[in-house]
Amino acid sequence: MPHMQASDPVPSTSIAQKAGLLSTVADASGAHRVDAIRWIRGEPIGKGTYGRVYLALSISTGKPQLVAVKQVDSPQVLRDESDQRQARFVHSVERVSKLLVDLNHPHIVQYLGFQECLGDYSRVLNIFMEYVSGSALGCCLREKGKFSEDVAKFFTLQILGGLRYLHSRRIIYRNLKADSVLLDRDGNCKLSDLEFSTREDKINKLPFTTVQRTLPWMAPEVICHQKEGYCVKADIWSLGCILLEMLTGKRPWYEDELIMITIKMNQNKRPPIPPDVILSDLAMNFQNLCFAINPDERESASHLERHAYLKLSNGWRFQGFNG
């Protein structure tokens, strides 16, 4: 067991929660409040733009539960752009917290609760999530290079399952890239980093830092319009980018800097296929359905799940990235 450090309970902390992890009661306004949360923080397992992710053990109720906790600092005094960026992220998470804890799908990381701890000069938002042992799809691609076509199909089917579930609820993921897909040791995929998800009828502008990190996987309409003019079909473009990345071992727009990607998207161009990669007719048809410039011409996740290209032979099993 990794080294763990006890985290002190924090009284009167607001939280949205999934049953079984934390005990909460509703106050007069209907918001969830928590009297005390007991959890033990372990080793760091990830770091992003807005905070660190730790392995942790929830010991509040019943049987101890292994979880992942993303800790995000949000200064109470906004002194510079960095402070403002952190505050915007926390606000974004608070805005979608109820939406996230209601999600329940085998190919989406479960959000278990959101806890706010107040200090003298800042507050810390703890985001409790299902712990997935393994690595991110992006890390595997950087380490191992391109995958076999069957492995790429296997992962694509799972990602589509998660997207179909989100889209049936009119939720746009908006952050679909290889580094946001977690893989366990058995090859099971889970979509993570959903804090920037939004409902189709409540689209808000993405933070600039998120656009920078995700732009090569973003659909043209998201980059060009930001606040309006796009729907769940934006995620289908991103899916096409991930499939292309798995088949080629190169990130989308592998030769271009961010500004050039934006220019080319405004020229109605799509991510190029490296000259040393030859895709089958079925693979090209699938890519065309993902990369239609007009979002209305892109197929839905549920339709793409049934595409002939993704059919695997009977009895096929994941046995490694080149299997």
Q: Which residues are annotated as a binding site for ATP?
A: 70
Burial class (CB in 10 A: 0-12, 13-18, 19+), 28: exposed
All residues at 6 or more sequence positions from 252 whose CB lies less than 8 Å from its CB, including other chains: 216, 217, 241, 244, 245, 271
All residues at 6 or more sequence positions from 50 whose CB lies less than 8 Å from its CB, including other chains: 72, 85, 86, 89
321: left (phi over 0), alpha (psi -120 to 50) or beta: alpha
Q: What is the longest distance spanned by two Cα atoms in the chain? A: 63
Q: Edge to edge, what strands does the sheet with 13-14 contain?
A: 13-14, 32-34, 25-26
- Radius of gyration (Cα) for the chain, nearest Å? 20
Which residue type, as a one-letter code, is found at position 23?
S
Q: Are 194 and 175 in contact (CB under 8 A)?
A: yes
All residues at 6 or more sequence positions from 23 whose CB lies less than 8 Å from its CB, including other chains: 34, 35, 60, 61
Closest by CA position to 136, among listed 178, 173, 100: 178
Residue ranges for the known binding site are: 70
